[in-house]
Amino acid sequence: MKISAENLTKTYGKGDGQVYALRNVSLEINPGDFISIMGPSGSGKSTLLHLLSGLDKPSSGQLNYDGIDIYSLSDKKLAAFRRRKIGFVFQQFNLLPPLDALENICMPLLLDKRQPDADYLNRLCGLLGIADRLRHLPHELSGGQKQRVAIARALITQPEVIFADEPTGNLDSQSGGEVMALLRQIHQQTGQTLVIITHDPQIAGLAQRRLQIIDGQLSEQISVQEA
């Protein structure tokens, strides 16, 4: 799916206290792109990811997925669109504590009254190295395992686009490296679009396109070969 964002602006608050989290951001994302987004804390990275994924709506601007203006969809239709087309990986994992790993992974399908494809589920859990942890509750898992469960949950619907908001931010460097290697491998194998926020220049360097946000304004870094 081609994603086209035009003049996305997000403000919080009113009057003197108004904050511009994002200013007139325009961006085209092509199917299969691997994009990293860097920028100082508070520069607007999470806001941009939330707007691009339809988790939040802008104060002004447009977002089209293959020509569909997704902010014009009803809340119910937007939620269904997000569940089917978009996977989101959070820094804080956001697993539901009373549900075991398998139940967490299958939740997006259950919300759509769908059953997991057993072959795909097995392959996914094998690839992510969590096949023997599926009956454990989140508090029984390490940080790296929790994030791998969260990645499985993001991928169970075979979404076309994966957004990841500092997926290694809460992990030690070894688990973070493993999680990042898995995301990269999945992107290479499936051709799914991957958009990732990171503080880590090494991770950002893996991406084909590198974006930077400063004070809510987006710029793209052109690699030396292209310049």
**Among positions 3, 8, 21, 89, the unique one binding ligand ADP when judged by CB under 6 A:** 21
**Nearest distance from C-beta of residue 115 to ligand ADP, angstroms:** 36
**Nearest distance from C-beta of residue 36 to ligand ADP, angstroms:** 13
Closer to ligand ADP by Cβ: residue 71 or 83: 71
**Among positions 2, 7, 18, 19, the unique one binding ligand ADP when judged by CB under 6 A:** 19
* C-alpha–C-alpha distance, residues 219 and 211, integer Å: 6
> At 36, which amino acid appears?
S
Which of 61, 43, 40 is closest to 52 using CA atoms? 61
**Nearest distance from C-beta of residue 49 to ligand ADP, angstroms:** 8
Interhelix angle for 173-190 vs 143-155, to 10°?
Answer: 20
* C-alpha–C-alpha distance, residues 162 and 183, integer Å: 9
- Site residues for ligand ADP, 23-62, by CB under 6 A, read 39, 41-47
* 213: its two tokens: 């946000």
* C-alpha–C-alpha distance, residues 92 and 66, integer Å: 30
**Nearest distance from C-beta of residue 21 to ligand ADP, angstroms:** 3
Chain residues that interact with ligand ADP, rule: CB under 6 A: 12, 19, 21, 39, 41-47
